[in-house]
């Protein structure tokens, strides 16, 4: 009877542990890691120097208007050499307006098809550079479409866990399987013991009740232990929510106000790959990044979607010679000083470091908390980009001799109060 009672307690304990493990989010991730092969996140092998050069030129000069396999602002480039030979393409890329003015039938048709949009001319490109771009286009059009796992949008490959995390998940999954097998064995043992004990005349009344006992969820719910656990969890969750609310007073993380023009960063910075500094002209020159003026918008929209009703506010702003009243999203208190050029040019930080994945945002929002603690923590962890900057040569040498660790922003005064408050 003692053996039966002990095995029953062990069974319920292991069953509870099994349910907790299966319900945890880590187990579902472990199942994914053992049940399916990880996505191949290795980068594509580098091509020939000509193709690599063509890729660089294409991304810097062509990508904002053209794609290889889809129509964007301009036509898709797939099969371009089947439609026109390289001699014609050289003339077109160097001066498309001249080719149109010559009465070339294909150029005239293309100009009419895209409603008079004039392609930017590149007279400075050499024949070798144009050939490298065409080589790159040809190499890309011959590639098979690859299926890439994504997170939050196309083209964002899921970063696989490192090997150590993968091993932990595999061990966790194995442990859960072992627990399940133990539970099965215990169920069989309890079943056999119960069959042998039922009908045994030597059992006392208390033992007989124990053998024939059935699980009653109501008894568990009404027990003091269950009420104590539920009460503790309730107080803990409410306390945590209240503490988070107090800690976030004055923070605007996630703030995404409605703007006078529904400008999509996802379309312009994401799909068309327009560089941030093209619109935010001050980001490399001074303290403020600057909000683009209407004439910057019209650089493109004088030729593209000129009659779109979504641009009515833009047209009115130009006609009335009044700026567009954009709603400011990122605000720092007046007592804090921040310089964009210092971080972007000298610090070599990407815009996404502070502003998040802007290229995926349909409506721009404040991504980071922008608190004092957040800034200070960045200064503590960020290494100073000293490559190619002779200003730091002697300082880097002295720091390496003294500390033997990479020089971080905190090591050059990044934690001094007067850096941001003066």
Residue 193 Cα distances to 198, 218, 390, 393, angstroms: 9, 26, 82, 79
In this structure, what token pair is assigned to residue 275? 């560089």
Q: Report pLDDT for 156.
A: 39
Q: Write the pLDDT tens digit of every residue in 164-173.
A: 566 777 888 8
Residue 173 Cα distances to 18, 38, 178, 235, 346, angstroms: 11, 16, 9, 32, 47
Q: Report pLDDT for 155.
A: 37
Q: What number is the average pLDDT over the span 72-90?
A: 87
**DSSP symbols for 144-211:** PPPP--BSSSTT-BPPPPPHHHHHHHHHHHHHHHHHHHHHHHHHHHHHHHHHHHTT-TT--HHHHHHH
Claim: this prediction has a pTM higher than 0.75: no
User: What is the torsion angle, in degrees rounded to the nearest 10, for the CA atoms of residue 308, residue 73, residue 155 and residue 263?
Assistant: -30
Q: Write the pLDDT tens digit of every residue in 128-168.
A: 989 999 999 988 888 764 443 333 333 333 344 445 566 77
For residue 351, count CB atoms less than 10 angstroms from its CB and return exposed for 0-12, middle for 13-18, buried for 19 or more. Answer: buried
8 Å CB contact between 122 and 96 = no
Q: How confident is the model at residue 217 (pLDDT cuts 50, 70, 90)?
A: confident
8 Å CB contact between 421 and 337 = yes
Q: Report pLDDT for 150.
A: 37
- Which range, 28-37, 90-99, 208-217, 349-358, is most confident? 349-358
Q: Write the pLDDT tens digit of every residue in 50-61.
A: 888 888 888 878
- Which range, 73-77, 155-159, 220-224, 389-393, is most confident? 389-393
Question: Does the domain spanning 49-141 belong to CATH 3.40.50.300?
Answer: no
Quote helix, strand, coil % in the chain, to nearest 5: 55, 0, 45
The ranges assigned to domains in the chain are: 2-37+161-215, 49-141, 216-249, 371-422
The Cα 248–Cα 322 span in angstroms is 37
Q: Is 383 helix (H, G, I), strand (E, B) or coil?
A: strand
Q: Which DSSP category does 410 fall into?
A: G
DSSP H helical segments within 362-419, as ranges?
372-381, 393-402
**DSSP symbols for 244-276:** HHHHTTT--TT--PPPSS---HIIIIIIS---H
Q: How confident is the model at residue 40 (pLDDT cuts 50, 70, 90)?
A: very low
Q: Report pLDDT for 208.
A: 66
Looking at every residue in the chain, the average pLDDT score rounds to 79
**Strand partners for 408:** 383
């Amino acid at each position: 009877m003692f053996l039966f009672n002990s095995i029953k307690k062990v069974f319920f304990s292991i069953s509870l542990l099994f349910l907790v493990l299966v319900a945890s989010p880590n187990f579902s991730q472990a199942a994914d890691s053992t049940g399916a092969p990880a996505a191949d996140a290795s980068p594509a092998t580098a091509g020939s120097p000509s193709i690599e050069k063509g890729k660089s030129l294409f991304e810097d000069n062509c990508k904002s208007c053209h794609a290889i396999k889809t129509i964007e602002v301009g036509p898709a480039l797939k099969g371009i050499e089947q439609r026109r030979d390289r001699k014609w393409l050289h003339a077109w890329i160097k001066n498309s307006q001249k080719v149109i003015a010559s009465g070339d039938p294909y150029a005239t048709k293309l100009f009419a098809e895209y409603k008079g949009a004039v392609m930017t001319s590149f007279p400075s490109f050499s024949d070798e550079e144009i050939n490298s771009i065409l080589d790159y286009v040809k190499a890309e059009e011959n590639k098979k479409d690859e299926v890439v796992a994504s997170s939050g949008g196309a083209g964002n490959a899921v970063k696989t866990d490192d090997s150590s995390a993968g091993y932990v998940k595999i061990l966790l999954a194995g442990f859960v399987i072992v627990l399940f097998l133990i539970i099965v064995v215990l169920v069989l043992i309890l079943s056999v013991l119960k069959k042998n004990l039922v009908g045994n005349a030597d059992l006392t009344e208390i033992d007989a009740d124990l053998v024939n006992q059935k699980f009653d969820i109501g008894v568990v719910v009404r027990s003091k232990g269950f009420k104590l656990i539920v009460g503790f969890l309730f107080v803990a969750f409410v306390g945590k929510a209240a503490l988070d609310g107090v800690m976030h007073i004055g923070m605007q993380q996630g703030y995404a106000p409605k703007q006078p023009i529904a400008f999509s960063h996802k379309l312009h910075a994401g799909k068309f790959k327009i560089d941030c500094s093209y619109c935010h002209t001050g980001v490399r020159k001074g303290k403020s990044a600057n909000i683009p003026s209407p004439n910057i918008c019209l650089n493109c929209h004088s030729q593209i979607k000129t009659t779109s009703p979504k641009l009515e506010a833009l047209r009115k702003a130009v006609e009335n010679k009044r700026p567009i009243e954009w709603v400011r999203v990122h605000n720092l208190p007046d007592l804090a000083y921040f310089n964009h050029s210092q971080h972007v040019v000298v610090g070599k930080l990407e815009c996404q470091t502070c502003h998040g994945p802007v290229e995926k945002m349909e409506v721009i929002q404040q991504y980071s908390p922008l608190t004092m603690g957040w800034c200070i923590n960045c200064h503590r962890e960020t290494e100073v980009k000293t490559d190619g900057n002779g200003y730091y040569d002697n300082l880097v040498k002295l720091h390496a001799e003294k500390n033997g660790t990479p020089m971080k922003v905190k090591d050059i005064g990044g934690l001094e109060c007067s850096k941001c408050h003066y």
